[in-house]
Structure 1
Amino acid sequence: MTLNVDWFMYNVKFVSAILFVVLFVSVSRGQPELQKIIPLTPNAASIEKYTETPISYFTGTANVSIPIYNISSRSISLPLSLSYHSGGNKVEDLASWVGLGWSLVGVPSISRRINGLADDSPFGFFTRYHGRTAKKMYDSVIIGGQGSWDYIKDIHAGVTDTEADIFSFSLLGKSGKFFWDQETSRFYTTPHSNIKVEFIGGDFKITDDDGTVYFFGTKETSTIGGAPQGNITTWLVDKIRDGNATDSLIFSYSYDIQVVKTLNTKSKLLWGSDCSQTQSIMTTNNTGAYSVSTITFANGYVQFIKESSVRQDLNGGYALKNIKVLNNEDYLVKDVEFSYHYRGSGTAPEDKRLMLDYIVEKNGTNEDKKHLFSYESTIESPSRLSFAQDYWGYYNGAIANTELIPTANVVSPAGPIQVPGANRDVNPGYTQFAILKRIQYPTGGYSEIEYENNQIYSTDVPRKYIQVGSSLTADEQTPPSSFYSTTFQVNNPPDIFLNNNLGGANVSIQIGGMNCIGCSSLTLQGLDAGNSHINTTISYNLSYYLPNGNYRMTANFGTQPPEDFENFYYIISWFAVDPVAPPLNSYVGGLRIKKISSYDGLGGRVIKRFRYTTSPVSDTSSGDAFGKAYFLAFENYTCIKYLPVGGYTNQSSYRMVAGGGYSQVSHSGSFSGYKTVYEFVDSLGSLGANEYKFTYVKDVVANLSPFPPPASMEIVRGQLKEQNTYRNNNGILVPLRTTRYEYRDEFFDNNAAFSFRTKLTREPVYANGDMVEIPQYDHLGYENIAAWSQPARKTEITYDQNDPNKLLSSVTDYEYNDSHYYRNKMHTKGSDSKIKSVISYYPSDLSLSSSAETARLQLITQNRLSEVLKEEVVKEGNQIKELKTNYKQFGNIVMPEEVFQKIGNGPSESMIRFLNYDSYGNLSSQQKTHNIIFTYLWDYNSTLPIAEVQNANTNDVAYTSFEADGAGNWTDIVPVNVDATTSTVSGSKSYNLTPTGLKRNGLNTSTSYVVTYWSKNGAYSIVGTSGSVKQGKTVTLNGHSWTFYEHLVSGQSTITISGTGKIDELRLYPKGALMTTYTYRPLIGITSVCDANDIFSYYEYDGLNRLQLIRDFEGNVLKTFEYKYQEVQQ
């Protein structure tokens, strides 16, 4: 669950740009209504109060998200925001260009995890091997033969690829992954969806299921060390286009070369021959990095301006300094400034961390919306190249580490041994370095966040071992005896290190100090039925496997023991799980939220505390790992050592590898999840609690060479199963509500990209340049499977607070169409046991006729598959309502044409008609069937409605205030005659009329038209004027007088207004119609409204573009607005 934080900021509560996105009218509403086209008039910018900072309960992370700006074009909206990940900072984390832990969210992108070769490389997975898929070739490898070995050789020579890369994508409002399937030659997404992915000429094109098209063509590459050519790691979006190709966002980028040093994999040779092994080295990565510089949209553009100096924590690259929003007139609408500092005591880039101090909205000397950030500062930040890392990469303060391979327990030919290495344990005293602790909001409030380390109750973490044993020595008895005996017990769980998962122990037996030969009898005897077969005499040091059970060890020196025999020892030792460590409650990597305290600056507060336990009073963690995390891998390897005298020997070795042979399974950036979470809420007293329960499925991880990636179950875990809400009644939690969810999960085996991985285990043998012995390999096949999960049932229970035995309940079942997997049926059963169903139909579900069928097929072609065309409401088996929307192709665009409604068994009746659209998809006219027509004119690059006319057709209206690029159906406007220097009646421009005049063509000669305007130079001439010209009110604005005139014109197919002088607010409409007009400062708001009675209202804005004044048509101030913030209470 991702929840947004609104931080004491104010937002202008009016629409400054209208996005006409036609949505299907839901049957759950009343009568179908006309589309809301005209914006609301401005209200004062509201100052929103901060109340709380929710978290993602399953992972225990706070998703702090600060909105920067919402780009609203004609039909595309792209929100820009800052997001902070609170799961902790890893040692090797490199800050983004907005600071450590922060990211700028909004620009769509594709990144990938390369498996084997890059799929788009000349021999990558997009290309079959001699026309055959990896699955067919894998089957041939299993069979064997020379051809299969040639194929394996080509794999390791880098001339073919056997593994699909995993691509991660982010779009507007959704994200996921996709991969290429060789068998079907197409991409599949996970979660399974109707998103269409294409790879064209090295670029990606993604079409969302609403028809929005994304073009990814800007590519980031990365090279390691001195590699001649790097792989593409990221594709950035160049263009977003709507389904009708009427609107688009264009992205441009700046380029930097960034050089970053990282720690590389290391292996250790444990025993065996002197085969080569990888050493721990610093790897230099050269990345051709792009950062967004401009986003251009229909009514403006956004600039991203970098700092002037290069970053101190990175060789190459710059921090983001400003985000500026400008309209098409280059007027600065918004300027957000970022400020930083660096922490870290070293001088090298790896020693420093870029930290975001604050962001503030500025405009000249005006400043507002400042957010201040404070971080943990008592823990010294480690170098990014530090080995002081826990198993998951977080700082643990172990500065004595000289490598990343941890201390390991392995079973050698001589028995279990411990190989010294790095301390990779979690250390809670160090993991919170540089973590965000406090956010201060513009209006005086603030939030404080308290963290703790993740803990899980699981065996999927590294165990700790100790050495235990039993012994006999003469020192145990004084004076010495000739007979010694003791019993001991072996009780080890199945464990790869302790007993190769058999239970029991591999014991080490040591004897000595008897000063005689054959003078003693040392025995070892099993005492249980399961180990009674063990009854042996010990005469030398050895290793021995003992199953779990009870044993007796004895030493018998007879009746005449030798002199000095009391120095003897008989010791049996073995490794066991450390009983001091918590048996299963263990630390894992990263942080979770312990408490969030929110203060409004006025004395109010809300405090939330979180417990991630199996019950409210338990200390047992409800957390678990997402899969077995193998932090070390062990492999047998055979290399060939050629002898100086000729010939060769096989050199067998056993190697331990860190970093490359294991998988750390994560979920949304976290390494653990919690099945149950409790949230306790206080506000100057306990308010109550919430209990959350989540689905939990582990990934399948194979710790088998050659170590394929885990089979991900991320899609089907972390979903809310149950939420219980309680109120506090004198210290007792009383249930208020319960909501339960069940899910339908699908795994599409037929949409699986089969891959396999190989690893060389024995080198080939050459003699005189010829291979005389073929190499040996491990190989393992796996599949990338598209998954899907959606709610199948929702149960809601409300408890009567006066009678605990009474409750209200409802159950909602959801069904999905197996052809497209959209929800097509929803059945709700209330406490009255009656069932109400809503049935939905999508473009691929119906077959229509005439123009509606043509449009339906075009919707499918545009991939607009998620649009609902028809809904039915059925109650107790009887249809009570149906609502259907027919689409039509208007020129090159497909838009709704008509809405029909059917009640019960009655006929289907037309309710609303959408009569016409302009070429950008803006609605030009609509009507309730058999009612008056509403017509709209658009301007400002066809992004804003400038006129609404009631009771008129599109062909019968015209309007201009000479503000923008449009003419409002008038012709012959000469741009040089537009005047922006003197006073106006509406907007900021007027027009110098000439005798040539302005025309409206194509009118109906049988219709009488009203033409109105404001003039500084008297009435102008209009041919066909009936009667006298009506002169209206004269107003003086900024020292200039304007007079209103009205003409009634009849019998004309073209109306021309001509003369010499200033003119503004020129209208034309049929007699009996009503026209209301609007002017704007684009991206800021409405500047004037002139109603059907030609009465003006004017709106003015301050330096930060907030509403400041409202004036009447004579310039008198009606309202004044001031914005003040509460002082912070420390």
Structure 2
Amino acid sequence: MLLIIITATNDFRAQNNIDKSLPDIKPPSLETYKISTYNLDFNNSPSGEFTYTLPIYNINSGINIPINLGYNSGIKVDDIGSNLGMSWQLVAGGAISRVVRDEQDEMSSSVWFPETIDINADANTIKTAAHPDNSIDTEYDWFNFSLSNGLSGQFYIDKNLNVHYNGGDGSKLTINDKTTIVTQYGKNLEFVLYDNQGNRYYFGGDEKFLERSRIDYKGPDKYYTSGWYLSKVITNKNDIINFDYSVEQISYYTSVGASFSVSESCCVPNTYENSGITKNKTTMIALKPRLSSIDDNITTINFGYNKQRKDYINGDGKLLTSIAVLSKKNNQIIKNFQLSYDDVNAGPAVTYYGLPLNEQSTVNRHFLNNIIDIVSNQKYKFEYYSKENIPARFSLATDFYGYSNGKMNQTPFADISGQVPNYIYTKANGYASANKEVDPTKTYLGNLKRIYYPTGGYSEITYESNSSIIPKQVEKVESSGLEVSRPCVGAKTVSKSFTFISNGSPINYAAYASTDYSNCGEPDDLHEIHGIQIKDLTTGTVVRSKNSKYYESIVANKDLCLTGLPSDLGCPVNTVSGHQYQVQYSVTSYLGRIDGAVSLSYNSRYETQDVLTHYGGSRVKKIENNNTQNGSDIRWFYYNKLQDLASQKTSITNASSLKLFDYLTTKRNCALECNPNNQGGESISVTSIPVYRFYKDNIISDFNDRSNKIFYNSITELVEGHTAFERNYLYEDDANAYLYDPPILDAPHSNSGQVKRGLLQNEKQYGFKNNNFTIFKTIDNTYSFVQNSITSFIFKQNFALNSGYLYNPHDGPIPNISYTFYQNYYGFSKLIESISKEYVDNQIFETKSNTVFGNSQHYQLTKQSTLSPEGTLIETSYSYAPEKGNQLLIDKNMIGIPLETLTTQTMGAGTKTIGRTETIYPTTVPTSQSGNLVLPLSVKTYDLQNTASTEITYDKYDTRGNLEQYTTKAGVPVSIVWGYNNTQPIAKVEGATYTQIQGLASAIITASDTDASAAVNTDETVLLSALDNFRNNLSNYQVTTYTYDPLIGVRSITSPSGIREVYLYDTANRLMEIREGSQTGKLLKEFKYNYKH
């Protein structure tokens, strides 16, 4: 132990550097982070943000992989865009991101993740972990993942590289390549996500699927792995979807920082020192995967990047400029999207943090202007609110939350006048003087204003500042004054006084005097004075007495209070509540006239007043949808309940008090600091030092808090003139980190409330009639929550120990160390009850639905019950692979497939079974029906006597899992012929086995494969002729045939009767018409489309 202490002392004396108190965070690139945390649904995110999804294409190879462009409103001044510009995100595939806390968990040479600590038994380890050259990793890294098909979550890995994850749906995460070492990067991990259907998603592994990042703060640092991109998906039928990337090297200023502190001197008591401002700028350098193509067995989707990004320092970053969907069979372009951008230059760079005036990356932004599919000529165009008025990144003209406020600030530190003692304010040297108030007219600069649709219609979004009426404490004081005159003759001293009973608050005063020699006397500086005396009559003690020459004012208030000490006569006079005080003011002159007056304020108190307060960012106020055919509709959003629409008090939940600075009392070994040559002491002398810390660093706000969004408990949506929807959401605050004196600043919260936030608690639906809202439906939801947690510790050495220090029980085992810990929660919520009430003609019809998720092996729905308004109870139970003991399905994680359902009906006292169905899967492979694929073999049903009968038997699958033959309950075989390169069913034959028709099927399969190679909407005569021949050769059977444009949809269906329906599509590949016989035949059905957000 002694050797460790000596080494520590040689390396470190006093931790005065503010940088040492900031969290050790290594973030991913912002784009990777946003991909991994993406959320699409506006209604399920009660933050008031505007979110919009523009669908591009949907890959369907057994599972859906949608490709979208996603928008989320809100631009902070320091934000940087993605490869789609500001606020937009390419949502295709997915990624895992990591925020490294301390060191990479898989690389740390020494990892210590205790759930609890014993400061006696663990003292040596704690001292090593607290040392500034800490070699022990005590914090779990934070992992997030998101896939474009909706799967998402967060997880952690422990020192053995086991994944701590519980998605609540039976999905699981594992790590491959746990021991592979790749030089400076450490272990090349590959994550595999298994969903509950047995589909596998692979992240990372090879170099081109990994993001390597480096944060350069005070010079080049080492790279760390911060992202794992989706490399492939293997479905439960062994279809493969591959994702390919090119690696782009990007660099940009990720953050800037400035800090200073005012603290009491260690060596000169009762004096304060300013540390001086320390400024820094941090550069993110990342080797980031950029999606270049997605490939399945039908299509290839290429992503082109041909426009240089000006918001990066280097020239390797590109904007997405094209998305092309190609048929794999004939390389025909099905969709060809071209994207265009507006480039916005904010003017000169901000030089406060050391950037040169001509620096370009921080002044340039890109905004998506339009996207057009040149195949269908479908065009979307976008407008934004005053995007050119957003100042350059790192501008000082920002509010408390980082949004533009247009103020001409010269410093990033908020004005602290009146918020700290005057002696602290004076020592701040004017550094903390910025106006950081929110300007509600600037919180939505750069937000999406209009979306123009291909039909010619548009949606317009109106925003307002996040705000609410909140109670604030406003100071009220009693005041009084005394005016005293001494005329030319009479007593030399004249005085007046008054008394009052104090409430314990200080007395402030200001006294001024003047002389008049016009009628008598001559100037006499020695004797012309004025003075104040304040006496505690309860104790008989004079608590303040001061005399000054007549031309000197006598003032005491907090602005003149330099030291806070009783001897400082510029400070207000402290009082004791309930005591009576006398204030006496006097003027004195021997020969001339003198006049004086004193004004006093005392008995200060605070009263609560409601004040409209603005917070960071904006919320949607109104969405107006204008359609060229059907006019317009307007939706208004109010952030409270329907009954409170007129109130400016909203349901904002997490609007915390603004932090202008940090105040803490830290501990230092002043005896050692002030006498560095005295190393021989055997004990320590701990001094408590008050510190005011001021800093600005956006890495902390962006990556040190797992919940930094505004939330509202209630949002009411009004559809103008029609209906109203009041939605009330759950919210729970996160628990603070557990702090031990002195505190460690900026320790993250435990994310305990994360699982509950944003869940819809209830909804009330109203109709609008006769200028009144009338309720017609309510929905009340109840949830259950499952959470696990693991603990992260943070240790900090406050000061060094004397080199000769020997252990003293009085000091404790870690006398110079602070520590804190927080919880990392992971878990899920489940809706367990929903009560719906409908109000009709003064009657209430209630329907209650209850759900049970009874097996912790998969957390699937195991029981659902619905009680109707008539009192009928319908209950359905579900069994899965674990309940049925099917180990093959369990091993393949196909545990989300219901294998058996049992439905009962209860009316009164009687209960009966009304349905029982069982799907039989193999328990071993291979099987004669499906080979090595795990596919259903049959479906059984049970009658009221619980007698089983086979409803359907699946007789034969092809190697891709396509069903080729099944047998009905009546024993009738049904065969299915697959064409278009085994991707679409082209014929269904009822009554024949597949073996019977196989010889005839080869001709239509070949014809369909040939048709698949043709262009979209080409002549199908040859294929239709082949299908007709096939039908004619099987005239004794019921035959239905189908044709397709494989990437668009079905083109024709010919029924057993020979009647053909022809399906026609518009240029956007949407179903437009169904006609009989041919493309010009009788119109059977027509479809119209309107765009609406």
TM-score for the superposition, normalised by structure 2: 0.76
* C-alpha deviation, 1:163, in angstroms: 0.7
2:876 maps to 838
Contact 1:241-1:247 within 8 A present in 2 as well: yes
* C-alpha deviation, 1:407, in angstroms: 3.4
Q: Distance in 2 between matches of 1:179 and 1:1109?
A: 48
| Counterpart pick for 1:731 among 749, 771, 775 | 771
1:236 maps to 229
| Counterpart pick for 2:142 among 159, 166, 169 | 166
Residues 917-945 of structure 1: CA deviation (Å, up to 9, x unaligned): 11211111122223322212324443222
Q: Structure 1 residues 645, 158: closer, same or farther in 2, change over 3 A? A: closer
Q: Structure 1 residues 915, 476: closer, same or farther in 2, change over 3 A? A: farther
Q: Which structure 2 residue ranges, 5 or more long, are not aligned?
A: 1-40, 178-188, 266-272, 349-359, 488-492, 514-525, 546-566, 680-684, 806-810
2:451 maps to 439
Q: Distance in 2 between matches of 1:547 and 1:81?
A: 67
Contact 1:55-1:62 within 8 A present in 2 as well: no
Contact 1:960-1:1067 within 8 A present in 2 as well: no
| Counterpart pick for 2:825 among 785, 788, 793 | 785
Secondary structure class of the residue paired with 1:537? strand
1:618 maps to 647
Residues 17-75 of structure 1: CA deviation (Å, up to 9, x unaligned): xxxxxxxxxxxxxxxxxxxxxxxxxxxxxxxxxxxx975572222321111111122x0
Q: Structure 1 residues 560, 258: closer, same or farther in 2, change over 3 A? A: closer
Q: Distance in 2 between matches of 1:714 and 1:548?
A: 46
1:758 maps to 795
Q: Distance in 2 between matches of 1:219 and 1:470?
A: 67
2:245 maps to 253
Alignment partner of 1:901 is 2:979: no
Contact 2:1073-2:1087 within 8 A present in 1 as well: no
Q: Distance in 1 between matches of 2:847 and 2:89?
A: 41
Q: Distance in 1 between matches of 2:1013 and 2:779?
A: 63
Q: Structure 1 residues 757, 968: closer, same or farther in 2, change over 3 A? A: farther
1:149 maps to 127
Q: Distance in 1 between matches of 2:984 and 2:915?
A: 35
* C-alpha deviation, 1:668, in angstroms: 9.7
* C-alpha deviation, 1:338, in angstroms: 0.8
2:371 maps to 359
Q: Distance in 2 between matches of 1:142 and 1:987?
A: 87
1:875 partner amino acid:
Q
Q: Structure 1 residues 223, 837: closer, same or farther in 2, change over 3 A? A: same
Q: Structure 1 residues 880, 1082: closer, same or farther in 2, change over 3 A? A: closer
Q: Distance in 2 between matches of 1:780 and 1:113?
A: 19
What are the within-5 Å matches in structure 2 for residues 26-45 of structure 1? Answer: none
* C-alpha deviation, 1:307, in angstroms: 1.8
Query: Structure 1 vs Structure 2: percent identity of aligned residues?
Result: 23
2:895 maps to 865
* C-alpha deviation, 1:574, in angstroms: 10
Q: Structure 1 residues 561, 677: closer, same or farther in 2, change over 3 A? A: farther
| Counterpart pick for 2:990 among 937, 950, 969 | 950
* C-alpha deviation, 1:309, in angstroms: 3.8
| Counterpart pick for 1:595 among 622, 647, 650 | 622
Secondary structure class of the residue paired with 1:624? coil
Q: Structure 1 residues 962, 884: closer, same or farther in 2, change over 3 A? A: closer
What are the within-5 Å matches in structure 2 for residues 320-339 of structure 1? Answer: 320-328=320-328, 329-339=330-340
What are the within-5 Å matches in structure 2 for residues 962-1001 of structure 1? Answer: none
1:173 partner amino acid:
N
1:395 maps to 404
1:698 maps to 733
Secondary structure class of the residue paired with 1:58? coil
Q: Which structure 1 residue ranges, 5 or more long, are not aligned?
A: 1-52, 491-503, 526-531, 848-855, 991-1011, 1015-1043, 1045-1064
2:198 maps to 211
Q: Distance in 2 between matches of 1:1110 and 1:116?
A: 62
Q: Structure 1 residues 377, 985: closer, same or farther in 2, change over 3 A? A: closer
Query: Bigger CA drift: 618-627 or 673-682?
Result: 618-627
Secondary structure class of the residue paired with 1:723? strand
Query: Bigger CA drift: 394-403 or 478-487?
Result: 478-487
TM-score for the superposition, normalised by structure 1: 0.74
Alignment partner of 1:828 is 2:866: yes
1:493 maps to none
* C-alpha deviation, 1:179, in angstroms: 3.0
What are the within-5 Å matches in structure 2 for residues 211-360 of structure 1? Answer: 211-217=198-204, 218-225=209-216, 226-244=219-237, 246-273=238-265, 279-311=278-310, 315-316=314-315, 317-328=317-328, 329-346=330-347, 348-360=360-372
Q: Structure 1 residues 1067, 613: closer, same or farther in 2, change over 3 A? A: closer
Q: Distance in 2 between matches of 1:534 and 1:961?
A: 115
Q: Structure 1 residues 822, 626: closer, same or farther in 2, change over 3 A? A: farther
Q: Structure 1 residues 565, 378: closer, same or farther in 2, change over 3 A? A: farther
Contact 1:474-1:566 within 8 A present in 2 as well: no
Q: Structure 1 residues 1102, 433: closer, same or farther in 2, change over 3 A? A: closer
What are the within-5 Å matches in structure 2 for residues 402-441 of structure 1? Answer: 402-404=411-413, 407=416, 420-441=432-453
Residues 773-805 of structure 1: CA deviation (Å, up to 9, x unaligned): 99823211222122322222211111123xx2x
Q: Distance in 2 between matches of 1:731 and 1:907?
A: 60
* C-alpha deviation, 1:319, in angstroms: 0.9
Q: Distance in 2 between matches of 1:384 and 1:627?
A: 25
Supply the RMSD in Å over aligned alpha carbons: 4.6
1:747 maps to 787
Q: Distance in 2 between matches of 1:693 and 1:209?
A: 31
Q: Structure 1 residues 1112, 653: closer, same or farther in 2, change over 3 A? A: closer
Q: Distance in 2 between matches of 1:913 and 1:756?
A: 58
* C-alpha deviation, 1:714, in angstroms: 2.2
Q: Structure 1 residues 557, 1081: closer, same or farther in 2, change over 3 A? A: closer
Q: Distance in 2 between matches of 1:519 and 1:985?
A: 108
Q: Distance in 2 between matches of 1:933 and 1:160?
A: 68
1:926 maps to 966
2:516 maps to none
Q: Structure 1 residues 157, 1066: closer, same or farther in 2, change over 3 A? A: farther
2:19 maps to none
Q: Distance in 1 between matches of 2:527 and 2:982?
A: 105
2:618 partner amino acid:
L
Q: Structure 1 residues 836, 1082: closer, same or farther in 2, change over 3 A? A: closer
2:647 partner amino acid:
S
Q: Structure 1 residues 109, 734: closer, same or farther in 2, change over 3 A? A: same
Residues 842-870 of structure 1: CA deviation (Å, up to 9, x unaligned): 211224xxxxxxxx211111112211111
Secondary structure class of the residue paired with 1:955? helix
Query: Bigger CA drift: 717-726 or 234-243?
Result: 717-726
Task: Report which of the two has the higher share of helix.
Answer: 2
Q: Distance in 2 between matches of 1:236 and 1:594?
A: 37
2:746 maps to 707
Residues 318-350 of structure 1: CA deviation (Å, up to 9, x unaligned): 111110000112111110111111123427221
Q: Structure 1 residues 779, 298: closer, same or farther in 2, change over 3 A? A: same
Q: Structure 1 residues 1120, 763: closer, same or farther in 2, change over 3 A? A: farther
Contact 1:665-1:699 within 8 A present in 2 as well: no
Contact 2:252-2:311 within 8 A present in 1 as well: no
Q: Structure 1 residues 935, 988: closer, same or farther in 2, change over 3 A? A: same
1:880 maps to 914
Contact 2:252-2:312 within 8 A present in 1 as well: no
Secondary structure class of the residue paired with 1:957? helix
1:371 maps to 380
What are the within-5 Å matches in structure 2 for residues 491-890 of structure 1? Answer: 521-524=533-536, 537-539=543-545, 541=568, 553-556=581-584, 567=596, 583=610, 585-602=612-629, 604-614=631-641, 615-625=644-654, 630=659, 632-635=661-664, 636=666, 638=668, 646-647=677-678, 654-659=691-696, 671-682=709-720, 686-702=721-737, 704-712=743-751, 713-748=753-788, 752-763=789-800, 776-801=816-841, 804=842, 806-819=843-856, 820-847=858-885, 856-876=886-906, 877-888=911-922, 889=925, 890=930
